Amino acid sequence: SQQGEEDPQALSIQEGENATMNCSYKTSINNLQWYRQNSGRGLVHLILIRSNEREKHSGRLRVTLDTSKKSSSLLITASRAADTASYFCATVTGANSKLTFGKGITLSVRP
Amino acid sequence: ETGVTQTPRHLVMGMTNKKSLKCEQHLGHNAMYWYKQSAKKPLELMFVYNFKEQTENNSVPSRFSPECPNSSHLFLHLHTLQPEDSALYLCASSQTGQGSGYTFGSGTRLTVV
């Protein structure tokens, strides 16, 4: 069953602009993760935020987590054409490490 | 390279064929996973292996048969598939209990004709 749901489904921005992608989920989580996928390739792990954390940074990436609203956002600052990809949020619930993914967001960054 | 290697990258097979997908990781992870990615659908978890024991089978049809001979290798044996099984099959590994992410392979693009 789908746990994470990303919003918007597609996003097109100009190079240099910031990109904000949102994810909502349904049940309590242990952690939430964001992945990136270039067309037809495997997923690359970007960042993980634990349920007791509210914000994390990694380079140009900033992730926030609001457990009261069951939502997360991924911000990519100063976007580049090379950031064009699909982005997925995924959640880990329960005692196991099983990841459940959303459908993903297609980000296009125009040069 | 991510440390998780999948072969072949592309596979075209007939509905009566038998083929196998292979996944190998050299990261020392204890868990390995098969996911199916179809167009317009979320990634679907198929199988989970933890210390080479299957811990999850997500109601996958028996025409998909996984095998995990050790913690570094994972296979997906395919037999009498249907055209709707055409998809990108992704293997991943992780170290459970450490709150770390998954490492994915590049996937096998499977086309069933």
Rounded (10°) CA dihedral A42, A58, A84, B47:
20
Given a cut of 50, is residue A5 above it in pLDDT? yes
Given a cut of 70, is residue B60 above it in pLDDT? yes
| pLDDT for A96 | 65
Given a cut of 60, is residue B58 above it in pLDDT? yes
Contact between B101 and A33 using a beta-carbon 8 Å cutoff:
yes
pLDDT grade for B40, boundaries at 50, 70 and 90: confident
| pLDDT for A1 | 44
Given a cut of 60, is residue A64 above it in pLDDT? yes
pLDDT grade for B21, boundaries at 50, 70 and 90: very high
Q: How far apart are CA A104 and CA A87, in angstroms?
A: 5
Q: How far apart are CA B56 and CA B40, in angstroms?
A: 24
Contact between B102 and A45 using a beta-carbon 8 Å cutoff:
yes
Mutate to test the interface with B, among A98, A100, A103 (most CBs of B within 10 A): A98
DSSP state at residue B99: T
For residues A70 and A60, the answer to whether their CB atoms sit within 8 Å is no
Given a cut of 80, is residue A4 above it in pLDDT? no
From A84, A69, A87, select the one nearest A6 (Cα to Cα).
A87
Instruction: Report pLDDT digits (tens) over A77-86.
Output: 999 999 999 9
